[in-house]
Structure 1
Amino acid sequence: MYTGLQHLHSYLTYLVLLGLIISFLAALAGLFGSRLFTDKDRKLSLLGLIPVHLQWVVGIILYFVSPRGFSNFSGEAMGDSVSRLYILEHPLTMIIAVILITIGYSRAKRMQGTNAGFKSIAIFYGIGLALILLRIPWNAWPGN
């Protein structure tokens, strides 16, 4: 079960990144194109939100079943940079990113009919995407 969750979490990251990049670029195009944020644009921004939430659920489950996660939490582990990454830095940064992306989507859906919906998606999804890219453990990805 652990190995399957680990692989799911790793490969789902590609879907998360793709969805966020598409949503972010569409928001930038709408923002700089001076278009109005419509229901179609709101649905397009779900391409970023849904995979992020799915990844978060898988990540939380993995955090509690992984030997590198919660069960490894100790003062000694905090001294090791790799252990600290898996115990604290990666999960905390990802939770912040999920919260920001969710806030961006929630704000934008209330701004339909204005250009401000694109701005909300661009800012919050952009910051969330940057946080995700900063704290992905690249060396642990399959193939590395």
Structure 2
Amino acid sequence: MYTGLKHLHSGLRYVVLLLLILAIISAISGLAGKKPYTEGNRKLNLFTLISGHIQLLIGLALYAMSSMVTFNDMSNVMKTANLRYWTVEHISMMVLAIILITVGHSKSKKAVDASAKHKSIAVFYTIALVIILAAIMMAVGKGFITFWGF
């Protein structure tokens, strides 16, 4: 089960990244071109939110099952880069990114005009994307993933 979830989590990251990039491009395009906020925009942003939350739930399940996450000797964990990354840094960055996606989506729903909706998505989703990419890049070479594959 752990291996299957790990592969699902690794593969789903590409879906999340693709949707985030598309949502950001759509929001920036809508903002720059003063375009209306369409039902297509709403659905893209919602699917991005949902995929991010699913990815987070799978990640939390992996976090609970992982042998790389330990709280027994936190002073040792904090001294060891690999253990520190998987126990503290990765989860913190990813939870923060999903919170930003959630806040951005919520603010866009509450906004009245199209410009404010696009701006909310553009700002919050872009910050979340930067955090996610940083966390993924930090993981390369830590014994869990390679950049391009599983």
TM over 0.5: yes
User: 2:46 aligned with 1:42, yes or no?
Assistant: no
Distance in 2 of aligned mates of 1:14 and 1:31: 25
Question: How far, CA to CA, are the matches of 1:123 and 1:80 in structure 2?
Answer: 34
User: What is the number of residues matched between the two proteins?
Assistant: 144
d(CA) in 1 for partners of 2:22, 2:114:
20
Give yes or no for contact 2:97–2:129 (8 Å, CA) kept in 1: yes
1:106 corresponds to which residue?
106
Q: For 1:104 and 1:44, how far apart are their aligned partners in 2? A: 13
The TM-score, its normalising length taken from structure 1, stands at 0.92
More deviation, 36-45/119-128:
36-45
Could you tell which deviates more after superposition, 33-42 or 65-74?
65-74
In angstroms, what is the RMSD of aligned CA positions?
1.7
Q: Cα offset for 1:33?
A: 0.6
Stretches of 4+ moved more than 6 A in 1?
none
TM-score, normalised to structure 2, is 0.88
Write out aligned runs for 1:5-24 (5 A).
Answer: 5-24=5-24
Contact 2:107 / 2:117 at 8 angstroms: preserved in 1? yes
Tell whether 2:142 aligns with 1:141: no
Structure 1 unaligned residues grouped into runs of 5+: none
Q: 3-state DSSP class of the match of 2:51?
A: helix
Report deviation, 1:39: 3.1
Q: Where does the alignment leave 5 or more consecutive residues of structure 2 unmatched?
A: none
Counterpart residue number, 1:92: 92
Indicate yes or no: 2:6 matched with 1:2: no
For residues 41-76 of structure 1, give each alpha carbon's deviation from its aligned partner in whole angstroms, at most 9, with x where no partner exists: 111212321111000000001100010124566221
1:8-67 deviations in Å (ceiling 9; x for gaps)? 111111111011011111111101011122333111212321111000000001100010
Return closer, same or farther for 1:5/1:126 CA change in 2, 3 Å cut-off. Answer: same
